[in-house]
């Protein structure tokens, strides 16, 4: 990608970007919430659309000169509605967490009862966890997963009946199985709650028909646009026909919550890039891509389990895998993440259901296949990557978190230094680089 002017203007930032590009090119990006946007998406992001102010909505702006901004936003809106079979779409949310905050503002009052999937069990921070706005400004009830790693629908039904929440969230950030939209809809309908599907992780899979759509069952859908959808870092809120039947003013309430409720001028360059991503997702090759994401995740999960690693729920239905490292020790995720990064594999430490340690020292590692699939990797590569992941984690088995919390930072610091010198991990990194050369990031 040509950055001649940037190189002339700011060599320090130019050099930093080049280094990040090299890191992405030479490593295996396996954080499931990350992907590689296309050149077309990035061209839209870096376009003159970034120069405009356009508070308001198409045809109802507070500034002049928005004729072509309106054109781009209307394209994004229509493409989003078609992709998700929705009655209304707002494409202005800056990101996923603001989008979820805007849903609260649209349908709740401070102190209302809400219900969501508990964060340590794979849920999202914004679905009512105690340290986020959902848990701070509302009475939050959290449902969990069962011992087998699947959502506990009986608990969710009981909690909904007992607490009568205004909103029920279905969706998560570390849940490897398909979401039970129909079953959650039965629960929400019984107690009169709005059912909101946060499909940030699986939106691309839904559009491609690889994961069931929430549209027939929920009232509102929120999603980011940069994960399996492979677009820019933005978000959308959609209202379904079912949502409008429950509340004919719901679309207007959502729009007012976005602007002027919580946001000012939209990021028009992002809106244009969202339109591009939705256009790309409507092509037949995107369906094949999404199918390959899931096939790769299943192949990787099988390889990890065949090599002795324990996975939450015993596998995956989607793009996401969660390794349970309590077989080594509670809180071991921090050591595994460091070893994987040293080996050229970028993943993230993560809590597991019924986490025996803490979010700061979690017992799991979260992996995903969207970015690897974008590069063209398939099942055969997943088998090799599974072997590398297993080998890298085994290199950390001797490390232990001390019981004394005061000693933990020093222990981790020493362990990280030791891990970075590990010859076996350095050898894996060399092999990872060789694999990556066969699958160039931007041809």
Over residues 328-364, the pLDDT tens digits come to 999 999 999 999 999 999 999 999 999 999 889 999 9
Backbone angles phi, psi at 299, to 5 degrees: -65, -40
* The pLDDT value given to residue 392: 98
Mean pLDDT of the chain: 97
Over residues 50-73, the pLDDT tens digits come to 999 999 999 999 999 999 999 999
Backbone torsion region of residue 56, taken as left when φ is above 0, otherwise alpha when ψ lies between -120 and 50, otherwise beta: left
Question: In 3-state terms, what secondary structure has residue 128?
Answer: coil
Positions marked active-site: 53, 55, 198, 224, 227, 233
Looking at the DSSP bridge assignments, the partners of residue 141 are 115
Q: Which domains, from first to last, does the chain contain? A: 45-281 (3.40.640.10), 291-437 (3.90.1150.10)
4 confidence band (pLDDT: 50, 70, 90): confident
- Crossing angle, helix 423-437 and helix 333-342, to 10 degrees? 60
Q: Which helix (H) or strand (E) holds 375?
A: none
* The pLDDT value given to residue 253: 98
Token pair listed for 80: 């989003």
DSSP 312-359: GGGS-SSSEEEEE-TTT-TTTHHHHHHHHHHTTEE-EEE--TT-SS-S
Over residues 276-315, the pLDDT tens digits come to 999 999 999 999 999 999 999 999 999 999 999 999 999 9
pLDDT surpassing 70 at residue 106:
yes
């Amino acid at each position: 990608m040509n950055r001649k002017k940037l190189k002339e203007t700011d060599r320090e930032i130019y050099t930093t970007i080049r280094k990040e590009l090299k890191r992405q090119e030479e490593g295996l990006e396996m954080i499931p919430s990350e992907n590689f946007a296309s050149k077309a998406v990035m061209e839209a992001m870096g376009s003159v659309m970034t120069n405009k102010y356009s508070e308001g909505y198409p045809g109802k702006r507070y500034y002049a000169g928005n004729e072509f901004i309106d054109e781009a936003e209307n394209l994004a809106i229509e493409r989003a509605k078609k992709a998700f079979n929705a009655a209304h779409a707002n494409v202005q949310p800056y990101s996923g967490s603001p989008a979820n905050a805007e849903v609260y503002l649209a349908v709740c009052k401070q102190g209302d009862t809400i219900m969501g999937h508990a964060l340590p069990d794979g849920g999202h921070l914004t679905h009512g966890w105690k340290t986020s706005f959902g848990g701070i400004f509302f009475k939050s009830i959290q449902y969990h997963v069962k011992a087998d790693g699947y959502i506990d629908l009986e608990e969710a039904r009981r909690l909904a009946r007992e607490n009568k929440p205004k909103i029920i969230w279905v969706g998560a950030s570390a849940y490897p199985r398909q979401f039970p939209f129909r079953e959650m809809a039965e629960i929400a309908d019984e107690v009169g709650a709005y059912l909101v599907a946060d499909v940030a992780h699986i939106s691309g899979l839904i559009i491609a028909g690889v994961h069931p759509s929430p549209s027939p069952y929920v009232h509102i859908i929120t999603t980011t646009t940069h994960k399996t959808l492979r677009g820019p870092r933005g978000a959308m809120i959609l209202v379904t026909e079912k949502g409008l039947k429950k509340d004919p003013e719901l679309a207007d309430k959502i729009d007012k919550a976005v602007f002027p409720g919580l946001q000012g001028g939209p990021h028009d360059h992002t809106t244009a890039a969202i339109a591009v991503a939705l256009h790309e997702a409507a092509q037949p090759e995107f369906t094949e891509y999404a199918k390959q994401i899931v096939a790769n995740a299943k192949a990787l999960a099988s390889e990890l389990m065949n090599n002795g690693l324990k996975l939450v729920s015993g596998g995956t239905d989607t793009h996401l895998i969660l390794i349970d490292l309590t077989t080594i020790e509670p809180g071991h995720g921090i050591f595994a993440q460091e070893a994987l990064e040293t080996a050229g594999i970028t993943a993230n430490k993560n809590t597991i259901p019924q986490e025996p340690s803490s979010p700061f020292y979690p017992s799991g590692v979260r992996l995903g296949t969207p970015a690897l699939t974008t590069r063209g990797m398939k099942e055969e590569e997943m088998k090799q990557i599974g072997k590398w992941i297993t080998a890298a984690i085994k290199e950390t088995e001797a490390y232990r978190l001390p019981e004394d919390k005061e000693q933990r930072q020093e222990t981790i610091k020493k362990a990280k230094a030791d891990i970075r010198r590990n010859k076996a991990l350095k050898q894996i990194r060399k092999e990872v680089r060789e694999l990556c050369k066969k699958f160039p990031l931007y041809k």
